[in-house]
Chains A and B, each alone.
Chain A
């Protein structure tokens, strides 16, 4: 029989407000095995933990039940407390009477009654707990960063600086991501390329960093400290180590009409291309969808002009398998498709563009060499209308937009408006907004400058319709403050499209078994206290894959993710979860049911000798679980027809005891 101590936490008034904590402590005193029961204001505080430690010693407790907040919050804390007092940490169970009781029920009698039942179930479980000892696993001292935008680059640089090797996997032919496409950055108006490209070069030159560009993650196996990842290095038909990036092939390629994705299709590139001048690695790539040689074997000009002999039309995709201790997701974002926003005539008129397209139009390295012109006729626009929240904060239009705020649009629109007025003082610039959101260092000052110094017309209200009529775009909008309808003849309309996670994030999350929210942003282990860790151990989050972010925020999160990775990689060994499956060899009949359902291949079979009651020796095939590989899901426990498989920490009899205690 266990000697159990029950500790009921008030959590200030969080629990005590809806649950009569004294009554709970009193009621649980009479439960089987309970020898001590008390309540305290904050169990997680130093004083609270001391109450637990003292009770463990004074009452020779063999089990502890803490009725408090969610085990996802403080299970680790209280397990540590117990082990400091000499008790096996796995003899502690938490009854969640905050998140799942006091916070969701309103009146005290109901809350108290439920808290007692939850406490009772935890006591019933602890009665059947057994001490568990975690094993150890080795840490592979190498990190993988998925995504080579500013988030991935910064994370990789920080990890590499600490002395650990890092691989960056980037699906595009070059690293740099979205930031490489930007012209200036708010609120300082730094030139994006000037602050990004040195970092790209640093990453390329850092001996701890290997850049796998034009590559994608294909398969992920293993667990924290020991992931095994298969990476597909797509054939670029150019030998990366030989190509000098001279560009002779690009000049000679006759296939000139390939939409240039780097400039969002606003100009063309060749079938063999280097995305932009500062690309890293600066290596040509042949687009197999357009190259005549690859499509029908007729051409081969690039191979003839390449003095280095780097062109290789026979190149195949290469699969690289590598082991990593930690994985950082930095897959970033994309603007949403504007195809469904017919009211803004995005598909009807070339002069209705997205903000990212505007960014390319004003970029010195862009399709117009930085000259702001109308894409339709190349004329200088005089009246420019910016529309904010296109697809953001869209409750009613959930099928085409997003419910959340995309966060960065207010600031980049202010930047666009300001820069336009600065460079072209003859323009009239209107910005239509629902709210202007400028929380951030020097952000509001920046927005006010746009209004006060640069005379940008900010109008509160949404644009109802944009209709192309001849050369102009008729913009119909309402001014919510004056209550008037506005009609503006615009030359250019710029839509601040909502941003969404990159499409590669969803399949990647499945591979990593990392969770996502309803918008496909990765979820963090704790929204406030563990913002750069995924709930899946060993998987970390960097940048906009976790939620909309601007560059300063992305860089700080990237650094934070790197420091978490470094904290993991400096360890030589990790303790493994002892809550793993265990097979009772006497009951196992070697049927293989468990092996078939195990997603980790943790179960193997051995022939084992058994001494029978008649003293004869029988050799039987029995299941064996590798505790270092088992992750403790419990699929095998249900598949086992003879009931030989059980899961430590969640044994069948423990769960049944909980059911019984609840249904008593």
Chain B
């Protein structure tokens, strides 16, 4: 969703069982969302180390979203509860690092919620685009 011609770079971590399948369903139903969103498949949202989120910001990502199964529906019983706690902790410190809180999100998308996946990504991409480029954590040594 380009705002003033600016296209953000968004990394989405999706759990294999719910959200990745939800993204596939969005595809099956041809539900559009911005190409700015690039999905990385992980077995469970709890595989996402907060370090990966920071790494993405460091390398120039403008937004990072982590999607998992709805609470109570985790394929591994309890993984998404860990995600929720870990990310709440990480997000609470992002301000301190100079990253706007709105650039990160944890969302629950089930395998049957293709429409929710597309809607979430549209909304997130719009929010991130309105914030503009994320410069503050970018390690300039990474960009030649």
Contacts and interface: CB of A to CB of B under 8 A. Distances in A.
Interface of A: 70-73, 96, 98-101, 103-106, 110-111, 113-114, 117-118, 121, 509-510, 513, 515-518, 523, 535-536, 579, 597, 599, 631-635, 637-639, 647, 650, 652, 655-656, 658-660, 662-664
A104 B110 contact: no
Interface in B35-81: 35, 38-44, 46-52, 55-56, 59-61, 69, 72-79
Contacts of A647: 43, 47
Nearest to A110: B35
Interface of B: 9, 11, 16-18, 20-21, 23-24, 26-28, 30-33, 35, 38-44, 46-52, 55-56, 59-61, 69, 72-79, 82, 86, 110-113, 118
Contact of A515 (B30, B50, B110): B110
Given A99-B27, A110-B35, A517 B110 contact: yes
A652 B21 contact: no
B43 A663 contact: no
A658 B64 CA distance: 14
Contacts of A652: 49, 51-52
B78 A104 contact: no
B73 A516 contact: yes
Given A70-B24, A103-B28, A662 B11 contact: yes
Given A105-B32, A652-B49, A638 B82 contact: yes
A106 B32 contact: yes
13 contacts: A100-B23, A104-B32, A113-B35, A518-B112, A633-B46, A633-B47, A634-B44, A634-B47, A635-B46, A652-B49, A652-B51, A655-B47, A659-B56
Contact of B77 (A73, A599, A632): A599
A155 to B, nearest CB: 23
Contacts of A96: 24, 39, 41
Given A101-B35, A535-B75, 18 more contacts: A72-B16, A510-B73, A513-B74, A513-B75, A513-B77, A516-B112, A597-B46, A633-B75, A634-B43, A634-B44, A634-B79, A635-B47, A638-B82, A647-B47, A650-B43, A655-B42, A660-B55, A663-B9
Contact of A650 (B47, B50, B74): B47
A71 B33 CA distance: 20
A637 B75 contact: no
A638 B35 contact: no
A655 B40 contact: yes
B75 A118 contact: no
A117 B48 CA distance: 20
B44 A633 contact: yes
A600 to B, nearest CB: 8
A627 to B, nearest CB: 15
Contacts of B69: 515
Nearest to A536: B75
A638 B18 contact: no
Given A658-B40, A660-B59, A638 B27 contact: no
Given A121-B38, A517-B112, A535-B21, A634 B60 contact: no
Given A100-B39, A515-B69, A647-B43, A635 B76 contact: yes
A71 B41 contact: yes
Contacts of B111: 515, 517, 523, 535
A664 B61 CA distance: 9
Contacts of A71: 41
Contacts of A662: 9, 11, 38, 40, 56, 61
A631 B77 CA distance: 11
Given A70-B27, A100-B27, A634-B42, A663 B59 contact: yes
A585 to B, nearest CB: 20
A104 B24 CA distance: 10
B31 A104 contact: yes
Given A104-B26, A105-B35, A515-B111, A659 B55 contact: yes
A425 to B, nearest CB: 47
Contacts of A101: 35
A663 B82 contact: no
